[in-house]
Amino acid sequence: MTPAIRVIPGAATRAVSLLRAVQFNHSPTCPCHSNPSHHHHQSQPHAAVRRYATPQDDAQLKDYAFEMAASSIRFGPGSTREVGMDVKNLGAKRVCVVTDETVDKLTAMDQVREALTAEGINFKIFNKTRVEPKDSSIREAIDWAKPFAPDAFLAVGGGSVIDTAKLMNLYTSYPDADFLDFVNAPLGKGRPIDKPLKPLIAVPTTAGTGSETTGTAIFDLVSKRAKTGVAHRNLKPTLGICDPLNTRTMPAAVKASSGLDVLCHSLESWTAIPYYERTPRPTNPILRPAYQGANPISDIFSIKALKDCVKYLPRAVRDPDDMEAQSRMLLAATLAGVGFGNAGVHLCHGMSYPISGQNPGYKHAGYQVSAPIIPHGVSVAVTAPAVFRFTAASNPDRHLEAAECFGVDVSNVKRESAGEVLAEAIRKFLADLGDQPAGIKELGFGSEHLDDLVEGTIPQQRVLNLAPNLARELQTEREQLRGLFEASMAY
């Protein structure tokens, strides 16, 4: 009889066996820090073993993967001049340029016109974008674009312009779709974008939204008195051209509010629930949301953006000639966009949508607009002290790391004090920045508005689902949100 021969497994076989052992016998830890207690909640429990004949509720299955998606980014002073060549390289023949009436008069648009003309590109300009767009202004822009039938879009402006261009691109690619088809549920139908859209190049002129990197577009749905939008990876721009020369003309008030959006993007994505705690697990990868929960890749971008925002935003607001600060804030906005575009935001943004949508008549100083306006960055920052005091129990260590970014010495701080320490650091930062409302009372809200603010927040499930410590039971959630709004009246 021939003796049995033992085959020694190769390196690849041993690696696969090890990965299987880890997958089926160990719960995931935070890969960024190799510390199971570091992430937002306690470490993920061992996966339950499914027994034969045991029914399974797919809606309760947690996700096990995350995806990284971001636009290509070009960063550098003077890079706007290359946009004509970019459009030509894409093979575009009819370009819809989207901007607003203010930016249309600035150097950035002069350079765009020159660059497109030099390459012989046929283009048409839509400059009626509304700052903090409403569904009516979005519909107007879509109706304008459809007859032109562009084969590419070029957005030059702030987040409102870039978001409007994204939706023009979407609805000209789906000309027969109902407007609410792609809008986030439950306010809309939440239909996934199941095909590539036309090329979109975004040239930001503010340092805030990070919209040049993300698949998110936000607007006011007036009939519901709340902000909502569309979120899908296919919505993200093909290319973002981040030219620091284009942010020099921002008024100080716009720099401040735009920068506060960066601050909250980074703080919220850093503290969002981890991706492996999010439910439901998608039945098809196309259904995996852009906002997935914090993950090892988003963490890197979010914490870097937070550190730079704290360091450079006060300088950028105080001194328009501080080109280092202006440049680093634009980069921080882009970094934060990559972070939250893949992790998501939570309570500050969820609560901000009814704050701006139900504006009692507040008009922020420094904004040259005729109608009342609560700038987006102001509406998210005004609840931040209360929000992070509330979420800190989910992961005190991570909240203390955020406080360190504000220059706080946390070496002797108890973990149970993390929320108070971070809330105080944010409050002080806002006060030192100057000209910021110290609570929603200064925006014109009173106790009589609380119920409406809560009801305007409830539909924002896309972001609320990522909020640590927020209850899933509706009545308890309402009570928690009301408490947060009450705590945000003044600080």
Q: Following DSSP, what letter does each residue of 421-451 receive, concatenated?
A: HHHHHHHHHHHHH-S--SSGGGGT--GGGHH
Q: Which residues does residue 221 pair with via DSSP β-bridges, in sequence order?
A: 226
CA-nearest of 346, 204, 206, 160 to 270 is 346
What is the pTM (predicted TM-score) of this model? 0.86
CA distances (Å), 272 to each of 302, 351, 414, in order?
11, 15, 22
Q: Which two three-digit tokens encode residue 142?
A: 């879509």
In this prediction, residue 11 carries a pLDDT of 53
In this prediction, residue 27 carries a pLDDT of 40
In this prediction, residue 60 carries a pLDDT of 82
Tens of pLDDT, residue by residue over 378-434, are 999 999 999 999 999 999 999 999 999 999 999 999 999 999 999 999 999 999 999
Residues of the chain with pLDDT under 50: 1-8, 12, 15-55
Radius of gyration of the chain (CA): 23
Question: Cα(72)–Cα(88) distance, rounded to whole angstroms?
Answer: 17
In this prediction, residue 369 carries a pLDDT of 81
> DSSP state, 134?
B
In this prediction, residue 56 carries a pLDDT of 56
> DSSP state, 40?
S
In this prediction, residue 10 carries a pLDDT of 56
CA-nearest of 291, 288, 302, 300 to 216 is 291
In this prediction, residue 313 carries a pLDDT of 98
The order of strands in the sheet holding 72-75 is 72-75, 239-242, 200-204, 152-157, 94-98, 122-126
Question: Cα(102)–Cα(203) distance, rounded to whole angstroms?
Answer: 15
Contacts 24+ apart (CB under 8 A), 308-313: 308/332, 308/335, 309/259, 309/262, 309/263, 309/266, 309/336, 310/263, 310/405, 310/406, 310/407, 310/429, 313/255, 313/256, 313/259, 313/260, 313/262, 313/263, 313/433
CA-nearest of 323, 300, 299 to 312 is 323
How many residues does this entry show for the chain? 491
Whether 82 and 74 have beta carbons less than 8 Å apart is answered as: yes
- Domain architecture of the chain: domains with CATH: 72-247 (3.40.50.1970), 252-487 (1.20.1090.10)
Q: Which two three-digit tokens encode residue 244?
A: 């620091």
